[in-house]
Structure 1
Amino acid sequence: MIPSTTASAAALELASAYQSPSLQSHSHRVFIWAAAYAREHDIAYDAELLFVAAMLHDIGLVPEFDNHTLSFEEAAGHIARVFATGAGWPAARRDRLAEVIVRHMWPEVDATTDPEGHLISRAAALDIAGKNPDDFTPAFRAEVLAKHPRLNLVEEFLTCFKSQATRKPTSSAARAINSNLDSRMLTNPLDAN
């Protein structure tokens, strides 16, 4: 299911080198949820762009890339742009990658104007906050979770977001914490599988 491109392999390698097992597993699930949702709803998307965005969308949370002023998704967008430059992507494609990553924290992203942003946003909302779990059958959810378990994602993610919120009170992480992200994560139906 992973696109067989050099950039996809490199994104996986980069994410594996810096992300914890919980964040790495989350990134894989985000790609799987996004691609499966696209298939079910006939949303055309760029598989390589989607995969690279899924692998790098939370890279701004890891200590090595945690920017002291930018929100984690903006920092991740910049990291992804640098990554894509090294991968030889043209400027417009690098910009799209960064855009998709930044938009994953938007409440809604229009599928007709930004399919990859829509898919990553929707998949991350499912995986983190349990939004729209009925997009997939219980059997499919169980299969994905068996292959890519949640591990200690809730504890780790909330720790990262609370730290971001304290240090960057106007960030998307702060808005999420202030809108009861912790209770949504603690009651995520994915953890009931």
Structure 2
Amino acid sequence: MRIADFPVPDTLAARGALAVAREYQSPAFTAHALRSWLWAEAFARVDGISGIDHELLYVSAVLHDIGTVTEFDNHTISYEHAGGHVGVALTAGAGWAVARRRRVLEVIVRHNWPRVDPTMDAEGYLLETATALDISGARPDALPEEFVREVLDVHPRGALAAEFGACVVDQAARKPDTAARRLVDGGVAGKLAANPLERVGPGSAEPNS
């Protein structure tokens, strides 16, 4: 398994999503988004999930945290809902049908669920599973070691632990009835620091070494 096995969708929506992410997010958050997309595609292969909408998965992964940035933050709703609505607007501009662009909202919102049933929402399951790996270190041994190292080499973690931890704490304080509060109460800062991916780099023996 290599990054080259998962080509970036060459579509208006995909290019637009990446442009928005790079313009508004920090490099660490955008790298997290791109790793999450690659982990999601890899989990689809490992878990035997077929028939997924690859463009939908890419756009949702790239924009899944866009609701945390100042320009799109919404004081009345969770950051995943705010980001999902950014995805709806972007894909409407790209000409997606109503039902499909609403799927962007669903997938982004569900990435913050404790668990998503893959038979109910395959793309939502994959993004939740992928972000759980990148943030909390869930299922660190599920993906091939060489693929994990390649992804981290191309999209390094940088200051993600500090940036995401501070961001979620802020979201939880301002919006205590949202998923951010559950993440903070669940010890997300400690999970970020202890994530095995933080210790993976060129020459590392294995993801959980």
What TM-score range do you get, normalising by the shorter chain? Answer: over 0.9
- 2-side partners of 1:40 and 1:141: how far apart? 13
Q: 2:160 — aligned with what?
A: 153
Of 5, 21, 32, the residue aligned with 2:11 is 5
- Segments of structure 2 that go 5 or more residues without pairing to the other structure are 1-6, 201-209
Q: 1:117 — aligned with what?
A: 124
Q: Please say if residues 46 and 143 of structure 2, whose CA atoms lie closer than 8 Å, have aligned partners that are also in contact.
A: no
**Are positions 1:40 and 2:43 aligned together?**
no
**Are positions 1:24 and 2:39 aligned together?**
no
**Are positions 1:142 and 2:149 aligned together?**
yes
Written as runs of structure 1 = structure 2, the 5 A alignment for 1:162-177 is 162-177=169-184
1:113 to partner: Cα distance:
1.8
- Segments of structure 1 that go 5 or more residues without pairing to the other structure are none
- 2-side partners of 1:118 and 1:25: how far apart? 20
**Are positions 1:99 and 2:116 aligned together?**
no
Equivalent position amino acid for 2:183 in 1: A
1:12 to partner: Cα distance:
0.9
**Are positions 1:88 and 2:95 aligned together?**
yes
Root mean square deviation, CA, Å: 0.8
Q: 2:84 — aligned with what?
A: 77
Q: 2:138 — aligned with what?
A: 131
**Overall identity of the aligned pairs, in %:** 48
Q: How many residues matched?
A: 193
1:53 to partner: Cα distance:
0.2
**Are positions 1:58 and 2:65 aligned together?**
yes
